[in-house]
Amino acid sequence: MYLQHFRLRELPFTLTPDTAFFMERAGYLDALNVLLVALRSGEGFVKVTGEVGTGKTILCRMLINTLGEEFKCAYLPNPYLRPSSLLLSIVEELGLDLPKRSTQHQLLRRLNDGLLDLVAQGKRVVVCMDEAQAVPLQTLEALRLLTNLETEKRKLVQVVLFGQPELDGVLDQPSIRQLRQRISFGYGLQPLDRRGVDDYLAHRLSVAGHEGAKLFQRRAVDEIYRGSRGVPRLVNILSHKSLMAAFGQGDLGIERRHARLAIEDTVDARVASARRTSWFGLFNRLSSSAT
């Protein structure tokens, strides 16, 4: 691969949600702070939405890593859970003992007892649910009922829902309006702007060990921004392919032509780039004819 060629310790643009690459800029730190304030103030439900690839999962993992020993977290990456499976998953994530072949009533009873034990130990319990837009309505309702468990002072469980914008449509349904009313904090992750993409590239390269002159030239960044629309996942894909293209040609810097090769090799980016070029071309022609 190109690690030695560009003097990198590790691949800078992998698609795995590695918290070592978490960027404390461009909205991500703001989102993390909103979540920390909400959870430390004891709010029942918190919501984070964002388009595919905007960094919801890495934000979720960063949140779990940041909360500290005061919190006990249950991370649920699979949204396709029935109510009984939801309870079982939370029990397992919290490390609670459970008799085999338990009924839903026994699951809820064990979970309630376990939560009270954790509260007695000074712990706060947080359930982080990823891809929440795909969670069945019955399961969301079961999650709401779970947050009814409380002492005189506070809730036994707090919930953070991470989902695509479609989650808002799900929550608008009358059958779960009680859950929607309990969401006291929310944050919407946005794609990076042009400067944000430049900072993002520099940040990940620095974490991966790059030193010295800027690796991505300005026009290459322009192309990556255009092809990715600022979506971090697509930025990663295009940047990785650009590095591969430059390495294959023996170049030590990433130029526009390398980024163009990456875009041509990536369907989503190729479509976005062509659409934007088409609109700019139309605008230029209309401007010319007007003058």
pLDDT digits (tens, 9 = 90+) for 91-128: 999 998 877 777 778 888 888 899 999 989 999 999 99
Q: Is residue 215 part of a domain?
A: yes
> What is the reported pTM?
0.86
Do 220 and 104 reside in the same domain of the chain? no
Q: By C-alpha distance, which of 134, 165, 192, 190 is closest to 49? A: 165
Do 43 and 167 reside in the same domain of the chain? yes
Do 86 and 159 reside in the same domain of the chain? yes
Do 173 and 197 reside in the same domain of the chain? no
Q: Is residue 49 part of a domain?
A: yes
Do 121 and 241 reside in the same domain of the chain? no
pLDDT band at 219 (very low <50, low <70, confident <90, very high): very high
Domain of 234: which CATH number?
1.10.8.60
Of the three residues 157, 189, 221, the one that is the final residue of a domain is 189
Do 60 and 165 reside in the same domain of the chain? yes
Query: Contact 84/107 with Cβ under 8 angstroms?
Result: yes
Averaged confidence pLDDT in the chain: 88
Q: Is residue 110 part of a domain?
A: yes
Residues sharing a CB contact under 8 Å with residue 125, sequence separation 6 or more, in sequence order: 71, 72, 73, 74, 94, 115, 118, 119, 156, 157, 158
Distance, in Å, from the CA atom of 263 to the CA atom of 275, rounded to the nearest integer, reads: 13
Domain of 53: which CATH number?
3.40.50.300
As a whole number of angstroms, the longest Cα–Cα distance in the chain is 79
Q: Is residue 200 part of a domain?
A: yes
Query: Contact 262/245 with Cβ under 8 angstroms?
Result: yes
Count of domains for the chain: 2
Do 51 and 163 reside in the same domain of the chain? yes
Query: Contact 137/176 with Cβ under 8 angstroms?
Result: yes
**What are the pLDDT digits (tens) for 228-278?**
999 999 999 999 999 999 999 999 999 999 999 999 999 888 776 665 544
Q: Is residue 241 part of a domain?
A: yes
**What are the pLDDT digits (tens) for 5-47?**
999 999 999 999 999 999 876 578 889 999 999 998 887 899 9
pLDDT at res. 283: 39
Q: Is residue 45 part of a domain?
A: yes
Instruction: List the domain range (segments joined by +) for residue 266.
Output: 192-273
Do 53 and 184 reside in the same domain of the chain? yes
